Amino acid sequence: MKDYITVIGGGLAGCEAAYQISKAGIKVKLYEMKPIKFSEAHSNENLAEIVCSNSFKSNLLTNACGLLKEELRRLDSLLIKVADKTSVPAGQALAVDRELFSKKVTEEIENNPLIEVIHKEVENVETDDGIVIIATGPLTSEKFAKQIAKITGQDKLYFYDAAAPIVFKDSINFDIAFYGNRYEQEKKKDETIEEWKKRLESQEKSYINLPMNQEEYENFWKELVEAEVVTLHDFEKREIFEGCMPIEIMAKRGIDTLRFGPLKPVGFDDLRTGKRPYAIVQLRQDDANGTIYNIVGFQTNLKFGEQKRVFSMIPGLENAEFAKYGVMHRNTYINSTNLLYDTYNLKQNKNIYFAGQITGVEGYVESISSGMVASLNAINQFKGTNAKIEFPNTTIIGALAKYISTENEKFQPMNANFGILPELEGKKIRDKKERYMEFSKRSLKYFK
């Protein structure tokens, strides 16, 4: 067996993994194709380049990303340590000087005697006698993407992240919303209203339906087509296609387009009237616990604030809390739900781990988290203990790992949120901040 572990990709996940491995006294060969070759979005020669926002989100323990950062601090995360040291004023959020952050991470990695940084585009993965962590990020090169497809046995990777918003179920207004699948919930001619409602109550809870009348629909449509959108990179604009068209683009094709698409009311009766609604929005269960639901067909490029404003116009979502906003951007990721264990280890080849956004975790801190888990397990494997380090799903680290490794036909990238955690045992706390703080207390007990 080789006397080192290979890490491919010098982004946030790759650098965290390399550092953790070196801390265990093991040599690392870290491959990074910059500055020999840059992706369409990268320009800085340093490692751990931050391409988008300079914010690592909230530091508060009543915020899921704040809890995730605290979990990582307690595991001695290099990247979070550097982020804390290079922070700039941002209220309750952790924001960094992006140039200084990347520079400091690069210095830490390059000055580490156990880490060899090799600037080269990797085209092949050799794992016969060594452990490899693949952390090539959401803009993996075309050549290496083909290699990943080969080693995972998948015909194709996901090359575009077209994700719909996700809302917390307990923020949905069930005076308006009702459960039911298309056609199965239409009122039968010989049923009384009471019999119909009783039948609906016994149906599975995988879909929630939000009926709209004509006035509600047309007001929503008007605001949707006029809402502000995020500016895409030029290379991303070329990749929007019919299969994942943003709902706002679809709406601009005509006032009734959505009513013949994702908002078609066919197969439904409104519980309030017993008649077919003018339009209907469906939400589909997104986690095993049934605490979060995604808005079906609402992949969008609207700005986050606009999503909150416009989608809250949908009857039943007027007080909706969003676990995750919709996104549409270039993002290479694998079908982790079929391919990975919650250790980020590839099921069909124990010598290969994946980390970072290519696994379907979304966000800076989430990527660091995956690099942490993959490296800790790679260390144990290298030392021959083969003891898996699996974080409980009561922690954000563990819940993310479980989410991306649990079978899900509608898998889409996920960021840190309290909706992926199991409910508190024996407690029903109505106040949101109090409930979130209890989630954090429960998680941090594990790290003691």
pLDDT recorded at residue 148: 85
Residue 418: name the closest of 436, 393, 404, 406 by CA.
Answer: 436
| pLDDT attached to residue 276 | 86
pLDDT at 361 over 70: yes
Confidence of residue 200 (pLDDT cuts 50, 70, 90): low
Q: Note the pLDDT of residue 318.
A: 96
Q: What burial class does residue 325 get, using C-beta atoms within 10 Å of its C-beta: 0-12 exposed, 13-18 middle, 19+ buried?
A: buried
Is 70 exceeded by the pLDDT of residue 181?
A: yes
pTM: 0.74
- The pLDDT of residue 234 is 54
Q: What is the mean pLDDT of the chain?
A: 87
Q: Is the pLDDT of residue 92 over 60?
A: yes
Q: Per-residue pLDDT for 110 more than 50?
A: yes
Is 230 within 8 Å of 240 (Cβ atoms)?
A: no
Mean pLDDT computed over 292-321:
93
pLDDT greater than 60 at residue 446: yes
pLDDT digits (tens, 9 = 90+) for 241-266: 444 678 998 999 999 999 998 999 98
**Half-sphere exposure at residue 40, Cβ-oriented, CA atoms within 13 angstroms:** 15
Q: Which amino acid is at 319?
A: N
Cβ-Cβ contacts under 8 Å for 409 (sequence gap 6 or more): none
The pLDDT value given to residue 128: 72
All structural domains of the chain: 4-157+334-447 (3.50.50.60), 166-327 (2.40.30.260)
State the pLDDT confidence band at 50, using cuts at 50, 70 and 90. confident
Question: Percent of the chain scored above 70 by pLDDT?
Answer: 89
Quick one: pLDDT at residue 235? 46
Cβ-contact 130, 6 below 8 angstroms: yes
% of the chain with per-residue pLDDT over 90: 57
HSE-up of 114 (CA within 13 Å, CB side)?
Answer: 18
Measured in degrees and rounded to the nearest 5, phi and psi for residue 278 equal -70, -40
Tell me, what's the pLDDT at 103? 95
pLDDT at 441: 97
pLDDT of 183 reads 63
